[in-house]
Structure 1
């Protein structure tokens, strides 16, 4: 069901609820004349409506407070980027930071900048640029461009002034050049940081966002993107995104060769300052290894340290980036979980003849080394299965680079978003998703069939006439009957619809205290409404039910309003920080809560009507059948995300783990993946490319021998 349709149903339900509430009040007045003052009751209802409208307006103003929203967003960005920085550095603290140098390269325009700088000076360097602040960070693969961008974000947020822009990092591979930048930024703020859509749009329109586009080189599967490439189109879209009469500020990261190609085609933004991250020299590599390795046994790394400072040695070139140094340390600091002894000696690195051999050696051992460090007990999949699972995902990302858009959406070559991974299994994922939709629809359809049999079995024609109660029962059956027909089309919709509208809006990752308070208020009001309406129905129809029954069903409706509302309508959720699994988890939880609360509440109301109109039907049976219908209705009209994700899991048995989200987060904790917004990404593109071309973990290979040693 589309967002517009759900919104219409929600508003229609609110209107119907208000009508029923007024009707219940009037009925109580007619049942107990003299005990209720109609004028006072009317004034009370009017006052309640005015108070509710004032409260809604106050919430609306709070959601569009630019200063408060910017402070909220800055806090969430700071928390997430700190977590990403710690994960990229192996949670070793400041010792794991290589203070890489960068140099200034003019790319045209009147912007001036210092000739050079370092990691610790990047924020001051950026502030000295003046103007809108336009910076591109270039370097070779593994040179630390992302770490430098994160460092810039953290230092800009540290001591941020109220009117400063909030830097927000965005994966370039997830950008769609055909979507206006303002819309893209608002969607990203909603999906990655859980802001309400109105709050996100307010921040973008107020020009409080500094986009930090990470990985521009990953938008195209070529080393020489031309003027018509996705990267060039994205840059033109950013160039057209202006703040009033001024150009917008931006920070980009891109590999040197790809950016040089864009410069040659004149596809880069105007007035942008370029800094190129330098390679890690022998002295800094030596300092880094000494800082993060075992100080009690420094001689273990002595051969490697000597090789790094020797001119022309293979290791001096093979380990000249932070990524490769991190690989080397991770692989050769692995210890046996029982004895505590080192599994392998770093001295073997000096025996390889070329850089490719060093690369293959380190990447082949990286997964078992990181898993051993993060999970010594081996509670998850072993290294071989982990390698195979990640290789399937890496091959999927690699295939996406050459695919045309799928139903209008460009598939990412770097991002692993759980509810967008279904193209990995193709039509099989759609088919299984449709089966899941059918499984949720069938109970509701069966309940309608049972109700229809009960109604038509009691139809009696006397003198060519049908009783008025029977006619009313048939008319009442038309509503669930029509809905049942609509339910039967849900499996077809689930198969044909590639992308859910809930995915476009970005599902709930964050709801703060203000939203929780709003949910509680909604829940209390809904509970009162449910109790009053249920009591009025019982008094009207004289159903033989105790008074606690309407109270229970009223509370169920209240709980549903407080915690099971549809996320696309602003429904409450919880912000769990950096965890892309929250999208699917909250989708499932909100659907279950809504089905178990609204379903029985709706069933109670509908069942009582049938009991009144058709004599001889047990109250419990009527309410139970109607409750099944209500639960099936809510579950079937839930967002498509969880259904398609479950279809992916069913379609990839044996190729991917059953608990895929848990597996990916385990790999994140082990340092094999990183997180960007609601997406997992491989720790480095080199690791992704290696896994895509090596579907199976390498077998143990003999260690190369130095010249003169026995083989």
Structure 2
């Protein structure tokens, strides 16, 4: 061993103020090993051993390199990552840090201080062999790691695990969410240039039977950070490149929230990777999955412990300015009340109900006749949380209606099997036929009104020139009333059937929000996207042409064709021309589409606004181009005045109809019909849904998780959903 290693190690240990025994405990190495390395009796320390020492001593990057070099391990510089990937990782880290800091402020985590969260090393049956956890070489033995710790030690505990894989088990409300947030912020605070970026992923939306883990991680990154859809190395997206290059450290939250029957497949999929990760779960679901398959390969396990009476006594009195408020409760609580107050969730609810509400007295919890069991107290705290947070400053909100709306949302998430409340998925559990009817009827009514008004104006102009304005207006009104309902029915059937086709061929993922924005100048050359869209347009046009031609053979002539000609060939040619123009316009628009700015992380409202703008521009462009083209064709066929009036008028109708049709099969259009019209009409949600969701976030009922909302607590969501179902 190089002679410099021992003296250097001793100097670094002394500077840190550690004894050999303390360093041995922190690094999980033996005291004899530390002593032997410092005296030179033990030679050739392995890279893993040196890194354990560096972690325990909390060395800087330069000091780590120096210690490795002194041990004879020359540090080869890693291949430089492409600059866009480095920038994307830095930007992602910045966004996550800012977002999670705001979430902690919103949840009052530091007011007055974070509730203690502690854990102990998990049971042997849920931890892989320590040789695997510590990445021991073949034939070597490895003893267990002491992983006991508390909230501010989670980063260090994870770094002490050579495999980088840690499972955190805790009951509902035990502090897993606070712990994962602290872990991410702690990792980001000490993140080095090439360290991976810790990202929280809610496992409840993962289907391991259909989606590979890395693919799902990429999809989630794209959802919450649309800017990562930009082109990365080797032609992939930046999101995919970050995942594949190991620049993302997955923090997988809620293994227990994966759909029933898929836990075994999920654990098998996780074992098929070697990714460092942190996984949280309720104990029972994880234990059952392990019994059916195996432990998470190379993963250590810790179990969260409850709050102590001292923790609660230190915390609750400091959450209120009313002296002595909590003294009766904390002095001698009944056993079942003391048990309730061992979980951070229940302590947080108790704080909201009593410390943050002037006219509530926590002494009522001591009434054993009213609250004879642990479950009765928990139900009381859960049931009164929403009325309490909506009480101050909300005279225009009926608490019962608010609970009904929130209950519907919780029930909706329960049926979807996900904790993620996404605005574009609000109608996903509606029957397909109902979605077709709602979309078709909504768009059909609008198209019918437009067609009626335009037809009336055309007849007013046309007849009014020859027979007088009064006669022209009367005839125009009559024609408009006749044309409107017929065109509404035609448009309703067209959009409804189109909706059904999109749902049939697109499955559950069809109405996904757009990750692009439209800019004024072309951003890229025409290429594969243009050709794909042109091909789709021609396919659509061919189908339309065949349908119109067959309709003419059966004796029916639709007005969009009849204004140009009444032959079968006219229908065929119209359909092909329509499809060609549609494909060309759609293809050309691809060159004006660019990914959302990398610096803008998506929030639910920001993503909704971006999609509204994008879909509006696309719909207007389609409507203008196709409407103008149709107007020109009619004008050529019918001559100057008559052709101009009819061409412009019915071109306007077609343009608006096309714009409405395009919007209806987008995520934003689907949201508009279902979230802003159908569900409020049925009383499931208020009319101002975005404002309601943001208000629920500000009041602490919901939290933001990237582009989606989640209920602040799974227990709260379960309670609201149960109450909603009981009142249906």
What TM-score do the two structures reach when normalised by structure 2? 0.64
Distance 1:643 1:658 in 2: 16
Query: Aligned with 1:195: secondary structure?
Result: helix
Equivalent residue, structure 2, for 1:586: 610
Equivalent residue, structure 2, for 1:184: 216
Matched, 1:626 2:651: yes
8 Å contact from structure 1 (residues 417, 678) kept in 2: yes
8 Å contact from structure 1 (residues 196, 570) kept in 2: no
Query: Aligned with 1:170: secondary structure?
Result: strand
- The Cα of 1:627 is off from its aligned counterpart by 4.5
Equivalent residue, structure 2, for 1:407: none
Larger CA deviation: 253-262 vs 108-117: 108-117
Distance 1:200 1:504 in 2: 21
- The Cα of 1:148 is off from its aligned counterpart by 0.5
8 Å contact from structure 1 (residues 172, 213) kept in 2: yes
Of 432, 435, 439, the residue aligned with 1:433 is 439
Distance 2:678 2:315 in 1: 46
Query: Aligned with 2:227: secondary structure?
Result: coil
Task: Please show how residues 59-458 of structure 1 align to structure 2 within 5 Å.
Answer: 65-87=84-106, 90-91=107-108, 93=110, 95-105=112-122, 106=124, 107-109=127-129, 110=131, 111=133, 113-131=145-163, 133-177=164-208, 178-197=210-229, 198-221=237-260, 229-240=261-272, 242=273, 247-294=274-321, 297-307=322-332, 313-335=335-357, 342-352=358-368, 353-372=372-391, 376-378=392-394, 381-398=397-414, 400=415, 411-426=416-431, 427-439=433-445
Distance 2:214 2:118 in 1: 34
Equivalent residue, structure 2, for 1:521: 521
Distance 1:414 1:237 in 2: 21
8 Å contact from structure 1 (residues 211, 249) kept in 2: yes
Distance 1:566 1:502 in 2: 24
Distance 1:496 1:601 in 2: 25
Q: Is the alpha carbon distance of 1:505 and 1:134 closer, same or farther for their aligned partners in structure 2, counting shifts above 3 Å?
A: farther
Larger CA deviation: 587-596 vs 604-613: 604-613
- The Cα of 1:327 is off from its aligned counterpart by 0.5
- The Cα of 1:432 is off from its aligned counterpart by 0.7
Show CA shifts across 1:88-147 (max 9, x none): xx336352411211112251222253331111111121122123x111111111001111
Matched, 1:642 2:668: yes
8 Å contact from structure 1 (residues 447, 628) kept in 2: no
Distance 2:690 2:218 in 1: 26
Show CA shifts across 1:610-664 (max 9, x none): 5566333475774464354334323312343234332354155123222333222
Q: Is the alpha carbon distance of 1:680 and 1:379 closer, same or farther for their aligned partners in structure 2, counting shifts above 3 Å?
A: farther
Distance 1:80 1:211 in 2: 17
Distance 2:591 2:405 in 1: 31
Distance 1:566 1:307 in 2: 69
Distance 1:161 1:209 in 2: 13
Equivalent residue, structure 1, for 2:51: none
Task: Please show how residues 2-41 of structure 1 align to structure 2 within 5 Å.
Answer: none
8 Å contact from structure 1 (residues 595, 634) kept in 2: yes
Distance 1:69 1:624 in 2: 50
Q: Is the alpha carbon distance of 1:503 and 1:635 closer, same or farther for their aligned partners in structure 2, counting shifts above 3 Å?
A: farther
Larger CA deviation: 269-278 vs 65-74: 65-74
Larger CA deviation: 254-263 vs 575-584: 575-584
Q: Is the alpha carbon distance of 1:319 and 1:371 closer, same or farther for their aligned partners in structure 2, counting shifts above 3 Å?
A: same
8 Å contact from structure 2 (residues 226, 598) kept in 1: no
Q: Is the alpha carbon distance of 1:421 and 1:608 closer, same or farther for their aligned partners in structure 2, counting shifts above 3 Å?
A: closer
Distance 1:654 1:433 in 2: 18
Q: Is the alpha carbon distance of 1:69 and 1:687 closer, same or farther for their aligned partners in structure 2, counting shifts above 3 Å?
A: same
8 Å contact from structure 2 (residues 525, 591) kept in 1: no
Equivalent residue, structure 2, for 1:688: 717
Show CA shifts across 1:17-52 (max 9, x none): xxxxxxxxxxxxxxxxxxxxxxxxxxxxxxxxxxxx
Show CA shifts across 1:186-217 (max 9, x none): 21111111134322222222222222211111
Bigger RCO of structures 1 and 2 (CA < 8 A, at least 6 apart): 1
Q: Is the alpha carbon distance of 1:259 and 1:618 closer, same or farther for their aligned partners in structure 2, counting shifts above 3 Å?
A: same
8 Å contact from structure 2 (residues 264, 293) kept in 1: no
8 Å contact from structure 1 (residues 388, 696) kept in 2: no
Q: Is the alpha carbon distance of 1:443 and 1:251 closer, same or farther for their aligned partners in structure 2, counting shifts above 3 Å?
A: farther
Q: Is the alpha carbon distance of 1:578 and 1:615 closer, same or farther for their aligned partners in structure 2, counting shifts above 3 Å?
A: closer
Where structure 2 has 5 or more consecutive residues not aligned to the other structure, the ranges are 1-80, 135-144, 230-236, 460-488, 527-584
8 Å contact from structure 1 (residues 102, 116) kept in 2: yes
- The Cα of 1:392 is off from its aligned counterpart by 2.2
Where structure 1 has 5 or more consecutive residues not aligned to the other structure, the ranges are 1-61, 222-228, 336-341, 401-410, 454-483, 527-560, 699-711
Q: CA RMSD in A?
A: 3.9
Q: Is the alpha carbon distance of 1:258 and 1:524 closer, same or farther for their aligned partners in structure 2, counting shifts above 3 Å?
A: closer
Distance 1:506 1:76 in 2: 23
Show CA shifts across 1:377-417 (max 9, x none): 3165322111111222233334x2xxxxxxxxxx3243322
8 Å contact from structure 1 (residues 318, 359) kept in 2: yes
Query: Aligned with 2:166: secondary structure?
Result: strand
Distance 1:568 1:412 in 2: 37
8 Å contact from structure 1 (residues 371, 670) kept in 2: yes
Q: Is the alpha carbon distance of 1:238 and 1:620 closer, same or farther for their aligned partners in structure 2, counting shifts above 3 Å?
A: farther
- The Cα of 1:252 is off from its aligned counterpart by 0.9
Q: Is the alpha carbon distance of 1:571 and 1:165 closer, same or farther for their aligned partners in structure 2, counting shifts above 3 Å?
A: closer
Distance 1:354 1:344 in 2: 21
Equivalent residue, structure 1, for 2:619: 595
- The Cα of 1:251 is off from its aligned counterpart by 1.3
Distance 1:445 1:233 in 2: 54
Query: Aligned with 2:326: secondary structure?
Result: helix
Show CA shifts across 1:297-341 (max 9, x none): 221111122135xxx632210111100000001011344xxxxxx
Distance 2:607 2:338 in 1: 44
Q: Is the alpha carbon distance of 1:629 and 1:429 closer, same or farther for their aligned partners in structure 2, counting shifts above 3 Å?
A: closer
Distance 1:578 1:383 in 2: 30
Q: Is the alpha carbon distance of 1:393 and 1:86 closer, same or farther for their aligned partners in structure 2, counting shifts above 3 Å?
A: same
